[in-house]
Structure 1
Amino acid sequence: MKKTIIAISVLIVVGVLGFVAYSFLVSSKVPQAFIDKHNEVVALEKEAVQLSDLTSMPEMEALDEQMASEDYSGAFKSVDNALTRKKDASTKLNSIDKKLAELKSILGEITDSEIKTSAEKFIEIAKKENSAKISYNNLQIQMLEKLKTMVGILVKNSKTISAADEKMINDLGKEIDDLKNQITTVEKEVNNIQSQYKEAEKEFFGLAGLEIKK
């Protein structure tokens, strides 16, 4: 039974949200307001990836060991802390959506029609990319919530597990498996959109005479 719980705990997908931070150099072809707004998006992306990367969370690194040693109270706290981080990341991702809308509103200040069209293209792809990241993050939140429920059962009944609790744990395990499959699908979508974004971004930066600093 306990081996089953330990196995379930490692089902969490720890794919990294592939945020890449960029900064602009000032160009006469693009207004400073556009550059500043983009840099606000970049700052939010940095904060989001730091909050949402399960692979680097000390709580998640400790989880398997806590489960193996039957430290269920510690495991519960680890999952709860990870959830808090993921929900903070969700707030950042939603803020990015708003910033991208603000960035689009500044497009009218770009006088060169070719550059303006290119900027509009990369912003639209950025919005699609961020939407996919929001879905990815939300699925991971759902998975962590189910894991938290599962570990919570063990905290209250660490010595004896009733048949009803065991059934609930098994059902939660199946739901976690389903979420794992959904996460894998969305992760592929994120990676695909990121490839599109890189191409659109490269085109815009080239036309605008801006330099990407990584």
Structure 2
Amino acid sequence: MVLGGALPYVPQYQEIRRSSNTEGFSTRVCLVLLVANILRIFFWIGKQFEMTLLLQSVVMILAMFAMLHLCCAVQHTNRVSTRRHRLSDLDFHYFWQWSALEDYLLFCFGFTVLCAVVTLLLLDSPVFVEALGSLAVTFEAMLGLPQLLQNFHNRSTKGMSVKMVLLWTAGDAFKTAYFVMNESPTQFWVCGSFQILIDAAILLQVLLYGQDTRAKLG
């Protein structure tokens, strides 16, 4: 359960390394997961749930930084222009499209400090704690949306496979079942159910766009 959430990204990590192409992966997936899991950690501080889920968040954060590190390295290798985008540029058009891992780390550090200050001030409020948990799982429920939208925009699922998406779906189904059986906070299983629906939509895209690609090649 601790590693299950990160395992589906292993084949995608391997595919990006093999192809030196990040086109099939949206780094905004990393943004969504980092924000969701940072918020989940602070939710745990206010309302202790299973330690397993807390450790899962730590593992997922490390996994997302590994994905970002790889994407930065690949984009640096493939870069035609010498123009580099940094967090310090304060250019909203290139938000979360920075050229160095340090910028992502700095953003997440700032976000964590902000969450820590707000949580410290409002920790005694049950309404705030429940709202924090709802916000965390809402971000996590949106996990597949950046990938879904990128696939729709590109009319392509290059770099993705049916096997990869089935791994996502199986992981989310197992996770949701775990939440229900262990009577985790309601926010968790609602989030898991929504993620399964998004996984199903992405699977349809892989099948549809894969057929289109084969038809063009034929």
TM-score normalised according to structure 1 size? 0.35
The structure richer in helix per residue is 1
TM-score normalised according to structure 2 size? 0.34
Larger Rg: 1
